[in-house]
């Protein structure tokens, strides 16, 4: 599938899982458009990509919590035939719901849900016209269960999970494949950010962002609909979705 694709757009490619997605797509010869906010990291990524292949990498500095910025960005990149959209940018907030900063929660919803929805809507339409394309949405195993203290974050990822599967069912007749990736704890800047630099727990062994991104690309090539990297994460999802009632899990995890 990927060999027929021209451009890929990866949001949040300046670090972590998104960066690994971008580098792997370069290795596979796609032209890759990457967003991030940290210009220095985006420049470093461009340099790394140059060592991999001649295929160009285009970087855009975009704050995705601003609807106006997302609209302007969409207009800027609409000239490219984006065959693969990877909605990866996102962040989490850890803490008791009433103690979290409401403005931060709103920003998280803007990035994790609204920007993802706007990008998916715009580019899915174009893919359908071309009868070719794919979307990979990065959710989280947290989106498969109600998760106290990752309350609103987990809920944004439940949206991503459900939207992805609905879009898979709607768009398959147009040869547009939608897949949801639900990673568990992964070694990126995610936890440091979610815990705002305080002492943070990482919930067991972390997977590497490379493992997650490469596994996701392989799963996408096999037209999987939901990809959960790692046995432990698959097990958590199984318990959450099939074995125990939501309230039991939430009460247990709330401690
Ligand atoms: N790491 C985990 O344990 C884990 C587990 C499950 C799911 N996930 C999901 O995986 C995805 C990638 O996260 P990661 O783990 O790779 O973390 P990361 O290293 O912190 O990377 C997050 C990326 O998203 C971008 N981003 C964050 N907030 C943004 C904003 N307001 N506007 C624009 N870009 C923004 C960041 O850009 P800058 O760095 O340039 O600001 C960065 O490129 C996220 O959707 C996350 O929810 C992560």
Q: Each residue of 82-112: b (16+ CB within 10 Å) or e?
A: bbbbbbbbbbbbbbeeeebeeeebebbbbbb
Q: What local confidence, expressed as pLDDT, does residue 51 receive?
A: 87
Greatest Cα pair distance, the chain, in angstroms, is: 53
Is the backbone of residue 65 left (phi > 0), alpha (psi -120 to 50) or beta? Answer: alpha
Asked if residue 190 has its Cβ within 6 Å of ligand 1, the reply is yes
Averaged over 244-255, what is the pLDDT?
Answer: 93
β pairing state of 82-87 and 57-61: unpaired
pLDDT digits (tens, 9 = 90+) for 12-57: 999 999 999 999 999 999 999 999 999 999 999 999 998 887 767 9
127 pLDDT band, cuts 50/70/90, is very high
Averaged over 110-137, what is the pLDDT?
Answer: 98
The answer on pLDDT for 201 being more than 90 is no
pLDDT digits (tens, 9 = 90+) for 138-197: 999 999 999 999 999 999 999 999 999 999 999 999 999 999 999 999 999 999 999 986
pLDDT digits (tens, 9 = 90+) for 221-236: 999 999 999 999 999 9
Alpha helices in the chain (DSSP H): 16-27, 39-52, 67-77, 102-109, 116-130, 151-171, 190-194, 209-221, 231-238, 246-254
- DSSP letter, residue 112: I
Asked if residue 88 has its Cβ within 6 Å of ligand 1, the reply is yes
The answer on pLDDT for 199 being more than 80 is no
Task: Write the residue with the smallest CA distance to atom 7 of ligand 1.
Answer: 140
Asked if residue 90 has its Cβ within 6 Å of ligand 1, the reply is yes
Q: Each residue of 206-240: b (16+ CB within 10 Å) or e?
A: bbebbbbbbbbbebbeeebebbbbbebbeebbeeb
Q: What local confidence, expressed as pLDDT, does residue 77 receive?
A: 98
Task: Quote the ligand 1 centre to 55 CA distance (angstroms).
Answer: 24
Q: Which residues pair with 53 in a beta bridge?
A: none
Please indicate whether residue 1 or residue 199 has the higher confidence score (pLDDT). 1
Q: Evaluate if pTM is beyond 0.75.
A: yes
Asked if residue 188 has its Cβ within 6 Å of ligand 1, the reply is yes
Pocket test for ligand 1, best of 20, 91, 209, 233 (most atoms within 8 A of CB): 91
Extents of the domains making up the chain: 2-254
The answer on pLDDT for 135 being more than 90 is yes
Provide the sign of the torsion angle of the four alpha carbons 109, 110, 116, 118, taken in this order: positive
Task: Quote the ligand 1 centre to 184 CA distance (angstroms).
Answer: 13
Report whether 233 contacts 157 (CB < 8 A). no
β pairing state of 133-138 and 57-61: unpaired
Provide the sign of the torsion angle of the four alpha carbons 35, 37, 43, 48, taken in this order: negative
Q: What local confidence, expressed as pLDDT, does residue 245 receive?
A: 93
Q: What local confidence, expressed as pLDDT, does residue 198 receive?
A: 72
Asked if residue 215 has its Cβ within 6 Å of ligand 1, the reply is no
Q: How many CB atoms lie within 10 A of CB 201?
A: 9
Q: What local confidence, expressed as pLDDT, does residue 253 receive?
A: 92
Q: Which fold has domain 2-254?
A: Rossmann fold (3.40.50)
pLDDT digits (tens, 9 = 90+) for 49-82: 988 877 679 999 999 999 999 999 999 999 999 9
Q: What local confidence, expressed as pLDDT, does residue 203 receive?
A: 64
Q: How many CB atoms lie within 10 A of CB 39?
A: 11
Averaged over 108-127, what is the pLDDT?
Answer: 98
Q: What local confidence, expressed as pLDDT, does residue 52 receive?
A: 87
Annotated catalytic residue within 7, 80, 149, 153: 153
Residue (of 188, 187, 211) closest to 24 by Cα position:
211
Chain mean pLDDT for the chain: 95
Does residue 60 carry a catalytic annotation? no
């Amino acid at each position: 599938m990927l060999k027929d694709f021209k451009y890929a757009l990866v949001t949040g490619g300046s670090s972590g899982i998104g960066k690994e997605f971008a580098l792997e797509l370069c290795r596979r010869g796609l032209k890759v458009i990457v967003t991030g906010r940290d210009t220095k990291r985006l420049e470093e990524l461009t340099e790394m990509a140059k060592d991999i292949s001649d295929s160009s990498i285009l970087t855009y500095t975009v704050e995705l919590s601003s609807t106006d910025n997302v609209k302007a960005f969409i207009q800027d990149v609409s000239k490219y035939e984006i065959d693969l959209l990877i909605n990866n940018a996102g962040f989490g907030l850890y803490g008791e719901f009433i103690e979290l900063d409401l403005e931060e929660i709103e920003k998280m919803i803007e990035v994790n849900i609204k920007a993802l929805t706007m990008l998916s809507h715009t580019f899915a339409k174009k893919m359908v016209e071309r009868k070719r394309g794919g979307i990979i949405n990065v959710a989280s195993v947290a989106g498969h269960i109600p998760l106290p203290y990752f309350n609103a974050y987990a809920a944004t990822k439940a949206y991503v999970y459900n939207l992805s599967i609905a879009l898979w069912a709607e768009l398959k007749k147009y040869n547009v494949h939608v897949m949801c990736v639900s990673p568990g704890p992964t070694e990126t800047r995610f936890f440091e950010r979610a815990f705002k630099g305080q002492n943070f727990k990482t919930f067991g062994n972390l997977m590497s962002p490379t493992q997650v991104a490469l596994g996701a690309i392989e799963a996408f090539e096999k037209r999987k609909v939901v990809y959960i990297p790692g046995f432990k994460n698959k097990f958590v999802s199984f318990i959450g979705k099939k074995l125990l009632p939501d309230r039991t899990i939430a009460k247990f995890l709330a401690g």
